[in-house]
Structure 1
Amino acid sequence: MPKQVLEQLETPALILDEARMDRNIERMRSHLRRLGVSFRPHVKTNKCIDVARRLLETPQDPITVSTLLEAEYFAAHGVKDILYAVCIAPNKLDHVMALQDKGVRLSLLLDSMETTRLLAERARATRRHFDVLIEIDSDGHRSGVTPDASELVEIGLFLESAGIPVKGVLTHAGSSYDCASIEAIRAMAEQERAAVVLAAQRLRAAGIACPVVSMGSTPTALFAEHLEGVTEVRAGVFVFFDLVMAGLSVCRLDDIAVSVLATVIGHQHEKGWTVLDAGWMAMSRDRGTAKQPVDQGYGLVCDLDGRPLDDFILVGANQEHGIMAHRHGKADRALHLPVGTQVRILPNHACSTAAQYGNYKVLGPGREITATWQRFSGW
């Protein structure tokens, strides 16, 4: 089969720069190796076994998922040690047990006595064993029980009395995405570490073993200075990075491994607009950079070699139309790109942009497409 190059692809298409991805993975892996903790990568961003194989050093390595469909998919490809890092809903327990029957060691998450009681009732009724971690709120960002709350020990003791050993504690410092500097990210990493370690210490003081102490977000994982008391780290978006991460100075623009290939389909010259065939269905509605110092609109426009076009972004997006213009609205600065010209657009949020596509077009040396890797979406 003849080799394909970028210019031959029908657009919009999701492009994955293989060299950038491999470099990003090695950066995270070598950093965590220096810190002396194990790695349980999150696969919710990539949803692709070909990418996951780059993350895992052996097929026995553990992963983190955000949906049971992810657990199903990766288990079918031989990955059996899986953490489902969303608090369990009772209506998912049949699916959990089906995965257990396939040999999956699936760890569950909870953060309340209400869920604890429901899980214990189901375990008793079905005579099943469940591996459980308690989610810790380390930053007030989302869910979890605070590390100093009395409910933490109550949950742990109730689980143990019901014959469900507490496998560990887990936290995610989502507030790291709001940090204004690398120094603030380092401080958040220490806050995250201290909170989850305190939770583990309180459980152990109550006679609960709590062997796993799990933390992770891409910013805090990459900038933690030490992880004393932590046994494993989870992170996912670092594989691809995105404009939000670049806006936090967690990565450079030329570390971003995913982009959307788009084609010029028209112009509105008096407005300084170039119309592309990639709207919000291609980029997603995510405006994660809107609150950052540099608002990248719906994405940063680059040439075919991935070099940003000076101050040109997607300033607007309809379902299938993307509006490319100068970020400051300067019509006299508009580029005239002829109809048919292709560009690459860096996304605000790699997870949500990738979710719009069924595959990655893998970019090798030059502009050569070396492979098509399938991905999936849904629950």
Structure 2
Amino acid sequence: MAFINPLVSYPQPQIREALLSHYKGRSVDDIPTPSLLIKESVINGNTTRALKRLERTNYKFRAHVKTHKTIEIARKQLGYDLPEYDGKKYDSIVVSTLQEAFSILNHQTQTGDVFVNDIVYGLPNITPDTLVKVVELQKQVKNFRLLVDNIEHLKILKKFSREHEIKTPWSLFVKLDAGTARAGISDDYVLGQVLSEIISSEELSLFGLYVHAGHSYDSRTVEESEAHFFEELETIVKGLNVLKNKVPDYDLETVVGSVGATPTLHSLEHDLFTETSKKVEELVKATEAQIEVHAGNYSICDLQQASTGCINIDNIAVSVLGSVISQYPRRKHPVGELLTNTGVISLSREVSPNFPGFGKVIVDIKYGEWAVNRVSQEHGILQPSNGSDAKLIPIGTKIKIVPNHACITANSYNAYYVIDDDDKVVDIYIPWRGW
């Protein structure tokens, strides 16, 4: 069978069409390795379930697109192209790179397919070279919003407006730290300074408060994820109290309180009826601000998400297709080890607490259970993961590996092979790359 190299054989605009014409309808056994597979029915199910649950709330929704970086999945996240969903459509996203924003907006300009009207840059990256790009993005979308978490950010924005004669105020989310200690304000005094400066400046406009409980990925049960959701909401309420103390007559109903992470979104899908559930309901009712939920990984999922207890393996839509390329009988294990062409670049070095190694191997049951025990740049070392009743997998056998962290794993691939439940290729998604 002829091999198509998507990076060499065709210019960028023709990649999808070339791959589709060659692989559509073929089995995964015909796909070169390593490659990224996405099961269409699973991603549709994950996305539909989340949207239906959100419909039962009064929350706004903002889809994070960094995990997949594709038009096709972004549309699904916002309520389009789902066979079992005909509910509310959303138009707000959050991006981790400006390239994601440029890619979506370029698509909308070129095709007239406008489904995004509101973008948040999810990194408090306020530098002059960033703002030059943001100004260009603002020309292509109705609303483009920035995150700030430092008084210096506001000074840079005001200076940039003066120097470039920008008359429209910057729309800002103030980023709060809910306990992750990665980015965001945790000190009430600093928050008060930032809020006061925004409200008193004609060049700045407060859109809302933004929280991401990244540490919720360490949850081990649905109840723990729900507790992190409550923490996110509580952080928003504390921030609103600071705002109220600074400006007593400020209309809090105009403020958006954006909360979310995949585990905390997943907690909403379970009707737990716990004490925390009651506290969440009471807190939301008492909050004057508009509550918005943001999340992204939920549409694809991975072993980290399965470790939270909110989903199971069947909810993971992504896997890496690799090949067994050598055998080492009785090495480091009574059965031995296997070499694959799936190393760090293919899988990442991320680990998950409930699964051994760097990925769970899916292979014919007759070979037993295997996991990715060690990785180097291009090499993966498999070892039996449950006792010694496994058998060496023949060289040349193609295997699927469920990754620990889909966001990092997917970033290594320039094409995604979308498969049906019979492991046949039904579509090709071409992701965006770069910053």
TM-score (norm 1): 0.92
**One-letter identity of the residue aligned with 2:121:** Y
Partner SS for 1:333: coil
Give the aligned partner of residue 70 of structure 1: 100
One of 38, 59, 63 as aligned partner of 1:16: 38
Give the aligned partner of residue 211 of structure 1: 255
Q: 1:43 to 1:158 in 2, by over 3 A?
A: same
> 1: distance between equivalents of 2:359 and 2:414?
20
Give the aligned partner of residue 67 of structure 2: 45
Question: Which ranges in structure 1 are unaligned for 5 or more consecutive residues?
Answer: none
Contact 1:45 1:350 in 2 (8 A): yes
* Cα deviation, residue 3, structure 1: 2.3
**One-letter identity of the residue aligned with 1:126:** H
* Cα deviation, residue 310, structure 1: 4.7
Contact 2:416 2:430 in 1 (8 A): yes
> 1: distance between equivalents of 2:71 and 2:149?
30
Does residue 150 of the first structure (1) align with residue 214 of the second (2)? Answer: no
* Cα deviation, residue 302, structure 1: 0.3
One of 263, 266, 274 as aligned partner of 2:326: 266
Give the aligned partner of residue 89 of structure 1: 126
Identity %: 30
**One-letter identity of the residue aligned with 2:313:** L
> 1: distance between equivalents of 2:200 and 2:423?
60
Does residue 286 of the first structure (1) align with residue 326 of the second (2)? Answer: no
Question: Which ranges in structure 2 are unaligned for 5 or more consecutive residues?
Answer: 1-20, 81-88, 109-115, 269-276
Partner SS for 1:234: strand
One of 109, 122, 126 as aligned partner of 2:160: 122
Alignment of 1:220-299 (within 5 A): 220-224=264-268, 225=277, 226=280, 228=284, 229=287, 230-271=290-331, 272-287=336-351, 289=352, 292=353, 294-299=354-359
* Cα deviation, residue 260, structure 1: 0.3
**One-letter identity of the residue aligned with 2:417:** K
Q: 1:182 to 1:50 in 2, by over 3 A?
A: same
**One-letter identity of the residue aligned with 1:27:** R
TM-score (norm 2): 0.80
* Cα deviation, residue 244, structure 1: 0.5
> 2: distance between equivalents of 1:114 and 1:185?
34
Q: 1:375 to 1:200 in 2, by over 3 A?
A: same
Alignment of 1:356-367 (within 5 A): 356-367=412-423
Give the aligned partner of residue 215 of structure 2: 175
Contact 1:120 1:159 in 2 (8 A): no
**One-letter identity of the residue aligned with 1:323:** I
> 1: distance between equivalents of 2:225 and 2:75?
29
Q: RMSD value over aligned CA atoms?
A: 2.1
Contact 1:66 1:85 in 2 (8 A): yes
> 2: distance between equivalents of 1:309 and 1:74?
43
One of 49, 56, 65 as aligned partner of 1:34: 56
1:313-342 CA distances to partner (integer Å, 9 max, x unpaired)?
0001122221111136x6x43422211111
Partner SS for 2:295: coil
Does residue 349 of the first structure (1) align with residue 405 of the second (2)? Answer: yes
**One-letter identity of the residue aligned with 2:155:** R
Q: 1:52 to 1:308 in 2, by over 3 A?
A: farther
Give the aligned partner of residue 234 of structure 2: 194
Contact 2:94 2:119 in 1 (8 A): yes
**One-letter identity of the residue aligned with 2:93:** I
> 2: distance between equivalents of 1:22 and 1:223?
19
**One-letter identity of the residue aligned with 1:260:** V
> 2: distance between equivalents of 1:28 and 1:56?
11
Partner SS for 1:77: helix
* Cα deviation, residue 187, structure 1: 1.3
* Cα deviation, residue 351, structure 1: 0.2
> 1: distance between equivalents of 2:330 and 2:363?
23
Give the aligned partner of residue 312 of structure 1: 370
Residue-pair matches, total: 370
Q: 1:140 to 1:53 in 2, by over 3 A?
A: closer
> 2: distance between equivalents of 1:178 and 1:137?
16
**One-letter identity of the residue aligned with 1:69:** Q
* Cα deviation, residue 126, structure 1: 2.3
Moved more, 271-280 or 224-233: 224-233
Contact 1:14 1:260 in 2 (8 A): yes
**One-letter identity of the residue aligned with 2:135:** M
One of 137, 145, 163 as aligned partner of 1:107: 145
Give the aligned partner of residue 134 of structure 1: 174
